[in-house]
Structure 1
């Protein structure tokens, strides 16, 4: 992955205090990471950098939508995204990013690239299972949903299975309840 210059902040020339950076994220951003799970991306990321004498605090806020495919029907839909992340940047002897909330950079550094943090913020804001809102409220009409409904076991199938059980098993079940 090439470093993306638009997401590099040269903090050495900034005065102490708060500084705002706004980023408009689209599909080209995720192309750099070779991440192709999104059909379309429209996210605004606001970065508030608070520079102090010995450290910097970065507060990321992402809000927007990503167009993804539903995990049930594979129908595309817009998934709203809203998340926040804070990072403390300290100066030390060598680079260390083992702690997810604290980044240690070498004393001589004069810039920081925030593209990786924006990428992780957006990807981790997605739910584990992406379900089309039309499925939850019952308004989505799809061939896949009809086929799933047709193939799903119904309540009458469960009753038929219970009726077909050999009566000898009932005696064994009584052993469990006769304690």
Structure 2
């Protein structure tokens, strides 16, 4: 991960207290992780880094837009994202990142790289189902949507509403009211 050197934070030279780091994330950032689901990325990361005597506290906040393709129509659109994440860095005998909220680094370390944390936070801030806003409000005109409408089964809703109730249920309901 040498190309992401700008995400290294050398905490040994920092004074105790709070420090602020800003990062502007673009599509090139995701190319290092070989992640190509995004068409374009414009995300700002604010990192509040607090150095204490025995540990480090990091608070990440991301906000911005990611251009992705809709799951339904495959039309590109800008998805607004927001997210935040807290990470505690402790010092121990060996590196351990098994817990998602606590990172343990060896006592001799002098820097940490936050690129992986930023990458995961942006990915997890994305909605699970990516729907173009034009589909939700009905303003998107697309060949894919027309074809989906044409091929969708007709009359399922009407059939369910007009379907008669099984007469056996009516007989059972009488048992409740005959008491």
The verdict on a shared fold, with TM-score over 0.5 as the criterion, is: yes
Task: Give the whole-Å Cα distance in 2 for the aligned partners of 1:121 and 1:158.
Answer: 40
**Which runs of 5 or more residues in structure 2 are unaligned?**
none
Equivalent residue, structure 2, for 1:141:
141
- Any residues of structure 2 matched to 1:91-102 within 5 Å, and which? 91-102=91-102
| Residue correspondence of structure 1 range 56-71 to structure 2 within 5 A | 56-71=56-71
Distance 1:151 1:17, change over 3 A: same
In the other structure, the counterpart of 2:25 is 25
Residue by residue over 1:51-92, the C-alpha shift from the partner in whole angstroms, topping out at 9 and shown as x without a partner, is 001101000000000000000000000000110000000111
1:124 Cα offset (Å): 0.5
Aligned match of 2:43: 43
Q: Which runs of 5+ in 1 are unaligned?
A: none
- CA–CA distance in 1 between the matches of 2:158 and 2:57? 61
Secondary structure of the residue aligned to 1:99 is: coil
Tell me what 2:125 maps to: 125
Please list the CA deviations of residues 84-136 of structure 1 after superposition, one character each: whole Å capped at 9, or x if unmatched.
Answer: 00000011111111110000100000000000000000001001110001111
Q: What is the CA–CA distance in structure 2 between the aligned matches of 1:135 and 1:176, rounded to whole Å?
A: 44
Instruction: State the number of aligned residues.
Output: 175
Alignment-derived partner of residue 14 in structure 1:
14
Q: CA RMSD in A?
A: 2.2
The offset of 1:49, in angstroms, is: 0.3
Contact 1:2/1:32 (<8 A) preserved: no
Matched residue, 1:105:
105
State the SS of the aligned residue for 1:135. Answer: helix
Inter-partner Cα distance in structure 2 for 1:93 and 1:11: 18
- For residues 23 and 161 of structure 1, do their structure 2 counterparts lie closer, same or farther at Cα, with a shift above 3 Å needed? closer
For residues 172 and 37 of structure 2, what CA distance do their matches in structure 1 show?
Answer: 50
